[in-house]
Structure 1
């Protein structure tokens, strides 16, 4: 064996050792990620779970029946909260329809304990009466909530929700861009999980999350 052949003989072993170390590091990282996920979401919920005891920020305004309404009034029930508006072309009606499909999969005893709550991000145009007709079209138990603009901004920020008015053509002609997540609040008033809009077509998985939170 010549001195020139030694590096060539060692090169494969060095490369294999580096690959092995890289794979071990990747496996360790995946294990830590899985462990963190299980600690954060021990119940295996589909949506993104909140840490235990995460109290839902307050929501208060005028209900779809024209009377004062607050999220706290639903204590003892499980509430799916989302922010939207009546002129929403697709996301809001799709969300309400998806939540009603979820409600229909629940045992009859639990259906009355599950409420969809639409908080309008367009209080300048959406009236309580219009909200009532809109949400009840999708579900007899759905509710609507109107909060004046200034406290609405504060409430939305507390929930991590953003919205903005765009394409303004007149005082009553504009679009509203908004966050599309759905937040599940348990009967104790804690935020338990948030679903991304793209997950709402997974009816059985969403319903499983609801049943788990209701336990």
Structure 2
């Protein structure tokens, strides 16, 4: 056998070995287990329900001056905040943090993650009031308002109850949570984002959730 033939044979053998190594490595790469995934979510302050829950069919008026039905909340991730425009402290802080989360999303995730504020003060929060308020934080943020009974049904279904304010008192306030409810692309209650938000970690996890759905 000539020297060139030997070199070619060695080269072919080396290439074959490299291909086999790559195939073996690819076959043994393990996807993160559900437990590992949930642990990473928890580290970001995101609590996933053991089993996603259906949400009731309810109708609201949106800040875009269009009616909205909760069955339309699907095919994207939705971060739902229950607050009100006359809130003196928690709401401005939470919405500013939501704006920061939005900024840290990838362009693709910004198209697939929507931020919604449902008013716990529908007595004062008209669609126009919500639009003007939310524009201060981000023009893509949406607001829902409607009948108090429906708002309470929605908040209870998403595990974020509140105590309605006494509308007979001037300058009344509403006791509510700072947490975010998460609705999945399947239109189900997926879990929560706990306040105070871990902004960078929350954004990273939703970037990953959107990427995994591709």
Report the alpha carbon displacement of residue 159 of structure 1 after superposing the two structures with TM.
1.9
Q: Partner of 1:112: helix, strand, or coil?
A: helix
Alignment of 1:42 with 2:38, yes or no, is yes
Structure 2 residue aligned with 1:98: 97
Residue 170 and residue 42 in structure 1: after superposition, are their counterparts in 2 closer, same or farther (change >3 A)? closer
- Cα shift readout 1:116-164 (whole Å, capped 9, x = no counterpart): 1000010011111000111122112100000201222222222222222
Q: Which residue of 2 aligns with 1:188?
A: 186
Deviation at 1:66, TM superposition (A): 2.1
What is the match of residue 205 of structure 1? 201
Q: Tell me, yes or no, if the aligned pair for 1:112 and 1:141 is still in contact at 8 Å.
A: no
CA contact (8 A) 1:84 1:121 kept: yes
Name the CA shift for 1:138/1:121 in 2 (closer, same or farther; >3 Å).
Answer: same
8 Å Cα contact 1:64-1:131 kept in structure 2: yes
| Residues 118-157 of structure 1: pairs in structure 2 closer than 5 A | 118-157=117-156
Is 1:50–1:193's contact at 8 Å kept on the other side of the alignment? Answer: yes
Shift of 1:41: 5.6
Aligned length: 175
Q: Please tell me whether residue 173 in structure 1 is matched to residue 171 in structure 2.
A: yes
Give the TM-score normalised by the residue count of structure 1: 0.72
Q: Deviations over 1:181-215 (max 9, x none)?
A: 101222221322312212x1x21111122123322
Structure 1 residue matching 2:186: 3-state secondary structure: coil
| Equivalent-residue separation in structure 2 for 1:128 and 1:169 (angstroms) | 19
Runs (5+) with no aligned partner, structure 2: 1-33
Tell me the CA shift for residue 43 of structure 1.
Answer: 5.7
Q: Secondary structure at the match of 1:192?
A: strand
1:73 positional shift = 2.4
The 2-side partners of 1:56 and 1:209 are apart by 23
SS where residue 163 of structure 2 aligns? strand
Equivalent position of 1:29 in the other structure = none
Relative to the length of structure 2, the TM-score reads 0.73
- Would the alpha carbon gap of residues 42 and 160 (structure 1) be closer, same or farther in structure 2, given more than 3 Å must change? closer
Q: Distance in 1 between matches of 2:55 and 2:206?
A: 16
Question: 2:192 is paired with a residue of what secondary structure?
Answer: strand
